[in-house]
Structure 1
Amino acid sequence: MDMRTRLRHLRHGPRVYAWRAEIHHLRGSRDCHRCVRVRIWGAGKTGQALQADLLSLALGPAGACETDGSSPRPADVRAVLAYALRHGWNPDRRGGTFALTEMLHGETFTLAGFVLTDRLRTPHGADPSERVAAAFDLGEQG
């Protein structure tokens, strides 16, 4: 199994969390971009899931949907998890999904090589090509 379907585990504090990453591609105004949907569970199937859609800042070939191979490492997933816990995610809450969104968390969430995107959830999210260009303009490439 590859990273798209395999459930992985990591320890943060006293708890073991399960997580997976699904690879997606988003068409922007100029290029196609890799997006990784990370989902994390801390209290089994009945607990509230955490979801973050991470837009890769790596540049792939221009004009093609052959995007980069960026994937979050366990340390990246741990950073997503820690941020979410500090910003209201309660893995013990029953049901539902706590989403880290570009709209609510994009200004304060930082992860080298990635930014949050809403485009995977809604077509009204910011253009991925513009987000990547803005990250380079601001020196956020990691």
Structure 2
Amino acid sequence: MRKLYADGREFVWKGEVHHVSGGRDCHRCVRLRVWGAGKNSRVLQADLLSKAVLPWGCASDSSYPTPKDVREVIDHALTHGWDPDAAGGVFLLSEDGHAAEFELAGFLLTDRLRDEGAPDPTARVLSAFDRATGSPAP
């Protein structure tokens, strides 16, 4: 568990590394979980899909959220209804509900870890690469 201090409050967070399959490749996904008022408080959860485009896919991807990334996730969640002082439950930043307005420099929100029917992560990663570079992904 890692600690982050923001606006006079201590947040505790962890990231669990997973992999999700796409139409063309495997992708690294980090399940981020954040608590703002102890272990019984409402947890913030976001599944972060790495934007890395690498020749060996998830086998060579070492992407992991930085404290700056975590702070951006917290800030977005707080402005969209997360109450870290509430007891129990999960506040989910989902791809379906938040991806159109929220993206990190190295990650996209994904629902694929929870739902195999969610949009293809390969197509989303390649699209993010194209937007960032102005040229098609390899």
Q: TM-score by structure 2 length?
A: 0.91
Residue pair 2:53, 2:129 contacting (<8 A) in 1 also: no
CA distance in 2, matches of 1:81, 1:140: 27
Q: Which amino acid aligns with 2:30?
A: V
1:36-77 C-alpha deviation (Å, 9 max, x unpaired): 110000011211000000000011224x65141111111110
Counterpart of 2:59 in structure 1 is 66
Residue pair 2:51, 2:108 contacting (<8 A) in 1 also: yes
Q: Which aligned segments of 4 or more residues in structure 1 are displaced greater than 3 angstroms?
A: none
Structure with more helix by fraction:
2
- How many residues of Structure 1 are paired with residues of Structure 2 in the alignment? 134
In the alignment, structure 1 residue 15 sits paired with structure 2 residue 9: yes
CA distance in 1, matches of 2:72, 2:133: 16
Cα offset for 1:133?
1.3
1:78-135 C-alpha deviation (Å, 9 max, x unpaired): 1111110011100111110000000000011121011000000111211110110111
Q: Counterparts of 1:36-75 in structure 2 under 5 Å?
A: 36-62=30-56, 65-75=58-68
Counterpart of 1:34 in structure 2 is 28
| Secondary structure of the structure 2 residue equivalent to 1:139 | helix
Cα offset for 1:29?
0.6
| Secondary structure of the structure 1 residue equivalent to 2:72 | helix
Q: Which runs of 5+ in 2 are unaligned?
A: none
Counterpart of 1:3 in structure 2 is none
In the alignment, structure 1 residue 98 sits paired with structure 2 residue 91: yes
Q: Which amino acid aligns with 2:123?
A: E
| Secondary structure of the structure 2 residue equivalent to 1:103 | helix
